[in-house]
């Protein structure tokens, strides 16, 4: 099996004038995103995560800049996901209280008066690990209950991390998408509030808030960067993260940016959808076993799809070894570059980039992307070592080298 396969979605973009037809960018204006960020900043321990400039690695690989936004530092939770869950819970509560979120803080949401008005709320969600941990964390911080369900084959450590946040957590015997349907049913039967990071008909508001929550990290990047990136590599599970990043970057820069979407072979619904050149997405199913657990989703978020089908140039799906190589390269810094502890889903896009810059087999892809010594390439390390055992297996023992 090839380490990477790719599809040029650009041809589809050229065929149809779909740029104006994207209706969702208005949810990611700087005004809207400032509101989100203001809410996040009311958390007393809030800190921006670092944006690393890997200059030695850029010289070695022949590009001008390699920038990595390192979300392993987010709220001591080792992943970016909490930004979405906590903003969605904040918005939900603000709506019940009839208040604007910009007038509410973490402290106010925790107050006994608010608790008296709201009574007991239980939030429920499906997760590969990071989203559920973020929801559990947010519920605990704000004094609510959380119930979190994981697909079969999830890492025990990730389950335990969720339990450590005080949530009820359980591993099911289903894959990710079926577990989402199961939790949606549980929520309906029990009057619990589902905080899911993907969207379906009739369930649109909360997933939109989650995507808006992610925009805080993109705004940090825009504020931290001196110049627009030329290329952005983004990992996709359901695509909510990538959709939010693209939406905010498109509104922040007038310069042309090339977006590349990365998925594992085992869960490549965007790749398959691009390949069909269809205006509608297709889904993939089965067990979707991959070390890139956060990307193991077979059904795109429809709103994210609308954004990503319009703006993605290349869709790549990659072999497990590509993510492992990305982890090793980022974790073994050269020169004065910072070391980046990147988990499987966090490192996959960088792994693809490393492969296409160092393997002549992908020269055509490199040319199609026009990556060269003038390129400023941006990555998001969306998680750190959220599965420590697997991280060490890969870093210390050469796991997934072949």
Ligand X SMILES: Cc1ncc(COP(=O)(O)O)c(C=O)c1O
Least separation in angstroms between CB 354 and ligand X: 18
Question: What length is written for the chain?
Answer: 402
Write down the H helix ranges in 98-129: 106-110, 112-118
Q: Does 351 bind ligand X (CB under 6 A)?
A: no
Q: Does 383 bind ligand X (CB under 6 A)?
A: yes
Coil vs helix vs strand at 168: strand
Q: Which listed residue (7, 79, 352, 369) binds ligand X by CB under 6 A? A: 79
Q: Which listed residue (212, 235, 258, 390) binds ligand X by CB under 6 A? A: 235
Active site residue 128: yes
Q: Does 376 bind ligand X (CB under 6 A)?
A: no
Q: Does 237 bind ligand X (CB under 6 A)?
A: yes
Q: Does 238 bind ligand X (CB under 6 A)?
A: yes
Q: Which listed residue (297, 316, 341, 377) binds ligand X by CB under 6 A? A: 297
Q: Which of these ranges, 35-43, 100-108, 171-179, 240-248, lies near ligand X under the rule CB under 6 A?
A: 240-248
Nearer to ligand X, 197 or 320 (CB): 197
Kindly tell me the number of DSSP H helices and DSSP E strands found in the chain.
Answer: 17, 11
Q: In b/e form, how buried is each residue of 41-66, taking b as 16+ CB within 10 angstroms?
A: ebbeeeebbbbbbbeebbebbebebb
**Active-site pick, 3, 69, 70, 81:** 81
Coil vs helix vs strand at 52: strand
Nearer to ligand X, 104 or 348 (CB): 348
Write down the H helix ranges in 69-111: 82-97, 106-110
Least separation in angstroms between CB 350 and ligand X: 12
Q: Which residues, including other chains, have CB under 8 Å from residue 28's CB and lie 6 or more apart?
A: 211, 212, 215, 244, 247, 248, 251
Q: Does 239 bind ligand X (CB under 6 A)?
A: yes
Cβ atoms of residues 222 and 248 within 8 Å:
yes
Nearer to ligand X, 106 or 379 (CB): 379
Burial class (CB in 10 A: 0-12, 13-18, 19+), 336: exposed
Q: Does 251 bind ligand X (CB under 6 A)?
A: no
Q: Which of these ranges, 23-31, 91-99, 220-228, 232-240, lies near ligand X under the rule CB under 6 A?
A: 232-240
Q: Does 132 bind ligand X (CB under 6 A)?
A: no
Size of site (CB under 6 A) for ligand X: 21
Provide long-range contacts, Cβ within 8 A and 24+ apart, for 121-124: 121/93, 121/145, 121/193, 122/146, 122/147, 122/190, 122/191, 122/192, 122/193, 123/89, 123/147, 123/192, 123/193, 123/194, 123/195, 124/148, 124/149, 124/183, 124/186, 124/187, 124/192, 124/193, 124/194, 124/195
Backbone angles phi, psi at 318, to 5 degrees: -125, 155
Q: Does 195 bind ligand X (CB under 6 A)?
A: no
Q: Does 330 bind ligand X (CB under 6 A)?
A: no
Least separation in angstroms between CB 39 and ligand X: 20
**Active-site pick, 3, 69, 70, 128:** 128
Nearer to ligand X, 229 or 298 (CB): 298
- Of 53, 39, 29, nearest to 82 (Cα)? 39
Query: Nearest residue to ligand X, using CB?
Result: 294
Describe the crossing of helices 30-41 and 205-224 by its angle, rounded to 10 degrees: 90
Q: Which listed residue (12, 28, 144, 241) binds ligand X by CB under 6 A? A: 241
Q: Which of these ranges, 158-166, 229-237, 267-275, 309-317, lies near ligand X under the rule CB under 6 A?
A: 229-237
Q: Which listed residue (28, 126, 128, 180) binds ligand X by CB under 6 A? A: 128
Q: Does 340 bind ligand X (CB under 6 A)?
A: no
Least separation in angstroms between CB 157 and ligand X: 14
Burial class (CB in 10 A: 0-12, 13-18, 19+), 357: middle
Residues annotated as catalytic (active site), given as ranges? 81, 128
Give contact residues for ligand X (rule: CB under 6 A): 79, 81, 128, 130-131, 197, 235-242, 294-295, 297, 345-346, 382-383
């Amino acid at each position: 099996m090839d380490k990477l396969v790719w599809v040029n979605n650009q041809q589809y973009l050229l065929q149809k004038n779909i740029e104006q037809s994207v209706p969702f960018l208005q949810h990611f204006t700087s005004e809207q995103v400032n509101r989100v960020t203001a809410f996040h900043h009311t958390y007393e321990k809030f800190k921006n995560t670092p944006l690393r400039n890997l200059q030695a690695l850029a010289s070695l690989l022949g590009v001008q800049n390699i920038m990595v936004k390192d979300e392993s530092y987010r709220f001591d939770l080792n992943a970016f996901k909490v930004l979405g869950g906590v903003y969605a819970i904040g918005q939900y509560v603000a709506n019940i209280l009839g208040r604007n979120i910009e007038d509410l803080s973490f402290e106010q949401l925790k107050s006994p008066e608010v608790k008296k008005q709201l009574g007991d709320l239980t939030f429920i969600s499906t997760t590969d690990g990071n989203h559920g941990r973020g929801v559990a964390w947010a519920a605990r911080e704000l004094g609510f209950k959380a119930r979190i369900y994981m697909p079969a084959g999830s890492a025990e450590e990730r389950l335990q991390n969720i339990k450590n946040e005080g949530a009820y957590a359980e591993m099911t015997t289903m894959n990710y998408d079926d577990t989402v349907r199961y939790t949606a049913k549980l929520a309906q039967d029990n009057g619990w509030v589902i905080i899911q990071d993907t969207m379906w008909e009739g369930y649109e508001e909360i997933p939109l808030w989650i995507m808006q929550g992610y925009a805080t990290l993109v705004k940090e990047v825009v504020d931290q960067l001196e110049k627009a990136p030329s290329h952005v590599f983004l990992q996709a599970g359901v695509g909510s993260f990538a959709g939010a990043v693209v939406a905010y970057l498109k509104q922040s820069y007038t310069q042309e940016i090339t977006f590349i979407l990365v998925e594992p072979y085992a869960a490549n619904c965007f790749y398959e959808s691009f390949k069909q050149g269809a205006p509608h997405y297709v889904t993939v199913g089965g067990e979707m076993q991959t070390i890139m657990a956060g990307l193991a989703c077979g059904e795109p978020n429809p709103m994210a799809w609308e954004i990503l089908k319009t703006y993605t140039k290349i869709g790549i799906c990659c072999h497990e070894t590509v993510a492992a190589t990305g982890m090793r390269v980022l974790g073994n810094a050269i020169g004065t570059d910072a070391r980046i502890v990147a988990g499987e889903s966090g490192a996959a896009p960088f792994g693809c980039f490393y492969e296409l810059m160092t393997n002549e087999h992908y020269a055509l892809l490199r040319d199609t992307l026009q990556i060269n010594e003038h390129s400023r390439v941006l990555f998001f390390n969306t998680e750190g070592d959220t599965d420590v055992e697997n991280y060490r297996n890969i870093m210390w023992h050469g796991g997934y080298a072949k």
